[in-house]
Structure 1
Amino acid sequence: MIFHQSMVIPSLYTEEEQFVLERWLQKASSCPEKGELDDSGRVAEIALATIQSRLPEGLSIREDGKAVVGRKTWQLPVRMRSDIIFPVHLFDIDWDDSQPGVSWPEVYYATYLPGFDVYAVTISMDSGELYGYADLAIGFFRAEQVSQIVEKASGIVRSWWKYLHEELHKPVWKVFRKPGLIDAAYASHVREEEWSAVGSHDEIIP
């Protein structure tokens, strides 16, 4: 996939970012493999740079009693991007809230990337403990109308959950925390299709 300079201000991305985006788009037809997530992490940074304050943020306490933030922040290299790139919130879930103080939040966004004419679907966690990155781009799609975003983004999410379930043997997520374009009923339907048995202990919070 080639960057279309005629469609967008050429300076919207740095040269390095254009290279990373093009390379990621060529490989993103399959779910990112653990250990090969550098481009997925960088693409997520490009897509989410303008909304960092909305992303989940974990805290841990060091032995000296100081609190340590679980995610890093990064600079927006092209200032005009803040007026052009607007991530669309899809939904929030929690993989595990079974014990007090235990939470594994995951937030989903779809971001239109001008010049490449695609939406990147990203997941954001409160730290990089699990994958080495707090934010990952898990796939992309094209949409001519806003009404297509839910269906196409859900397809990317479905593929990601299928990969987690079948390849990484990850248990089903437990709680739907917050709706965006995708509501609890839709997300739960996709979940039940990917995890054949959903136990009665699972909770859906509208």
Structure 2
Amino acid sequence: MSFHESMVIPSLYTEEEQRIIERWIQKAFSCHETDGVIDSNRVAEIALATAQTRLPKGIVISEDGSVSVGRKTWELSVPMRAGLIFPVHVFDIDWDDTHAGMSWPEVYYVTSLPGYHVCVVTISMHSGESYGYSDLSIGGFFNDDDSQKAEKTAGVIRTWWKHLHEKQRKPVWKAIMNTGLIDAETACRLREDEWNKVGSHDEVVP
């Protein structure tokens, strides 16, 4: 069945959003390639529009001393979605706990997109310094059974961490800040499975 055979989709997403979501799905939910990052950001914004108040907010202090929030906000393009899309909190991690009073939080959510039968796994940071955007969809999966949501979400996150570790040579994240769908024990096991592999250049700190 093609995407547009569902009457749900045209009522919940603009034509542009449909093109973006479908292109992202056809690319196997990927944001690893440079040309996929823009779509991944847009998909993340579609998924997270109703959770913006729960996302990390960086504080920017200007030369004149004025303070502003370093995170953009966006409008829900189709108001009907507000009652149908519910991002589920997965966990929050801190990439750097080496400086007292400072942290580099990354917040994970998984969101089901009505009409497409897919779940989007997203990461959110307080700024776009790392990836060019504050929010990215790092992967997804077809959702036929909610009982498998946590397991499939963990699989997407493990694949993302593998990319960060092996391709971008990113050091291991340091701490769990909050938990949700996935508990701290599982998150730490996923971390150890990746960064403690034989030949790893950056082992998990005990």
Deviation of 1:31 after TM superposition, in Å, equals: 4.5
Structure 2 residue 22 is matched with structure 1 residue 26: no
Structure 2 residue 47 is matched with structure 1 residue 41: no
2:137 is aligned with what amino acid?
A
Deviation of 1:10 after TM superposition, in Å, equals: 2.5
Q: Retained in 2: the 8 A contact 1:34–1:131?
A: no
Q: Deviations over 1:63-106 (max 9, x none)?
A: 11011211100000100100001111111101002102431100
Structure 2 residue 159 is matched with structure 1 residue 128: no
Give 3-state SS (helix, strand or coil) of 2:103's partner.
coil
Q: Deviations over 1:162-193 (max 9, x none)?
A: 00000000000001011101000000000000
2:204 is aligned with what amino acid?
V
Judging changes above 3 Å, is the alpha-carbon distance between structure 1 residues 35 and 98 closer, same or farther for their aligned structure 2 residues? farther
1:77 is aligned with what amino acid?
S
Provide the rounded CA distance (Å) in 2 between the counterparts of 1:71 and 1:164.
23
Q: Retained in 1: the 8 A contact 2:24–2:30?
A: no
Give 3-state SS (helix, strand or coil) of 1:37's partner.
helix
Q: Retained in 2: the 8 A contact 1:96–1:103?
A: yes
Structure 2 residue 90 is matched with structure 1 residue 84: no
Q: Which residue of 1 aligns with 2:199?
A: none
Provide the rounded CA distance (Å) in 1 between the counterparts of 2:163 and 2:32.
9
Correspondence 1:6-155 to 2 at 5 A: 6=6, 8=8, 10-34=10-34, 36-155=36-155
Q: Which residue of 2 aligns with 1:203?
A: none
Provide the rounded CA distance (Å) in 2 between the counterparts of 1:13 and 1:130.
29
Deviation of 1:29 after TM superposition, in Å, equals: 4.8
Q: Retained in 2: the 8 A contact 1:32–1:40?
A: no
1:159 is aligned with what amino acid?
T
Judging changes above 3 Å, is the alpha-carbon distance between structure 1 residues 9 and 170 closer, same or farther for their aligned structure 2 residues? closer
Number of residue equivalences: 200
Provide the rounded CA distance (Å) in 1 between the counterparts of 2:9 and 2:22.
17
Provide the rounded CA distance (Å) in 2 between the counterparts of 1:35 and 1:131.
12
RMSD: 1.6
Give 3-state SS (helix, strand or coil) of 2:6's partner.
helix
Deviation of 1:33 after TM superposition, in Å, equals: 2.6
Give 3-state SS (helix, strand or coil) of 2:140's partner.
strand
Provide the rounded CA distance (Å) in 2 between the counterparts of 1:4 and 1:141.
19
Structure 2 residue 202 is matched with structure 1 residue 199: no
Structure 2 residue 191 is matched with structure 1 residue 185: no
* Percent identity between the two aligned chains: 62
Q: Deviations over 1:98-148 (max 9, x none)?
A: 102431100111110111110010001111111110000011112322220
Give 3-state SS (helix, strand or coil) of 1:18's partner.
helix
Q: Which deviates further from its counterpart, 126-135 or 29-38?
A: 29-38
Provide the rounded CA distance (Å) in 2 between the counterparts of 1:126 and 1:2.
37
Q: Retained in 2: the 8 A contact 1:2–1:22?
A: no
Provide the rounded CA distance (Å) in 2 between the counterparts of 1:102 and 1:15.
42
2:139 is aligned with what amino acid?
G
